Amino acid sequence: MNYSAKVMDHFMNPRNVGEISDADGIGEVGNPVCGDIMKIYLKIDDNRIQDVKFNTFGCGSAIASSSMATELIKGKTLEEAWELSNKAVAEALDGLPPVKMHCSVLAEQAVHKAINNYRIANGLSPWDYKEHGDIHALAPDEQ
């Protein structure tokens, strides 16, 4: 398995690790059976992500994808953060091996789930989100 230097950097020195005790939105995806769980905490003020933290159980690329996703959405408005795609996460990491692309999908899903968790808690309707389906079953060129 060959990871890019960027992946290794974000794995060895992950940014934004931890929890936010008074988070405004929390998104958890994955399950221990598959070997990866990602949990993202958002602190939102004035429609903007003021702070973001994550906890991840998973392989190197799952941890690096979480770290990169938090970096990409920090300081963004919720509308901007909603646009985060798994491809953007993977590209920012200088690519992921094909069998690891699902890690970037998890990061995208965790962010979406956290944003909708905030919206629902604040009496707003959740934004429509098209699930990737079985992210493990996708062929590499579909991911």
Partner 1 sequence: MSDNHVYLDYSATTYIKPEVLAAMRPYLDTYFGNPSSIYALARITEQAIGQSREQVAAALNAAKNEIYFTGGGSEADNWALKGVAFANKQWGNHIITTKIEHHAILHTCEFLAQHGFEITYLPVDSEGLVDVDSLRQAITAKTILVSIMFANNEIGTIQPIAAIGKLCREKGIYFHTDAVQAVGHVPIDVQAMNIDLLSLAGHKFYGPKGVGALYIRKGVKIDNLIHGGGQERGKRAGTENIAGIVGLGQALELATTDIETENQRLTRLRDKLIAGLTAIPHSRLNGPVGAKRLPGNVNVCFRFIEGESMLLLLDSVGVSASSGSACTAGSLEPSHVLLAIGLTHEIAHGSLRLTLGAGTTEQDVDYVLEVLPGIVRKLRNMSPLWKEFLNKGGTKL
Q: How far apart are CA 80 and CA 123, in angstroms?
A: 20
Interface size with partner 1, residues (CB under 8 A):
30
Region near partner 1 per CB under 8 A, out of 13-21, 83-91, 112-120, 124-132: 13-21
Rule CB under 8 A: is residue 38 a binding residue for partner 1?
yes
- The answer to whether residue 138 forms part of the interface with partner 1 (CB under 8 A) is no
Judge whether 103 counts as a catalytic residue: yes
Q: Is the CA virtual torsion 77, 15, 84, 134 positive or negative?
A: negative
Q: Which is nearer to partner 1, 46 or 139 (CB)?
A: 139
Give the nearest distance from C-beta 31 to partner 1 in angstroms.
9
* Near partner 1 by CB under 8 A: residue from 62, 69, 105, 111: 62
Cα 103–105–108 angle (5° rounding)?
115
Instruction: Figure out which of the listed residues 2, 21, 22, 33 binds partner 1, where binding follows CB under 8 A.
Output: 33
Residue ranges in 93-132 that form contacts with partner 1 under rule CB under 8 A: 99-100
- HSE toward the beta carbon, residue 46, CA cutoff 13 A: 3
What does 68-126 look like in DSSP terms, one character per residue? HHHHHHTT-BHHHHHT--HHHHHHHTT---GGGHHHHHHHHHHHHHHHHHHHHHTTPPP
Positions touching partner 1 (CB under 8 A) are 1, 3, 8, 11-12, 14, 17-19, 28, 32-39, 54-60, 62-63, 99-100, 136
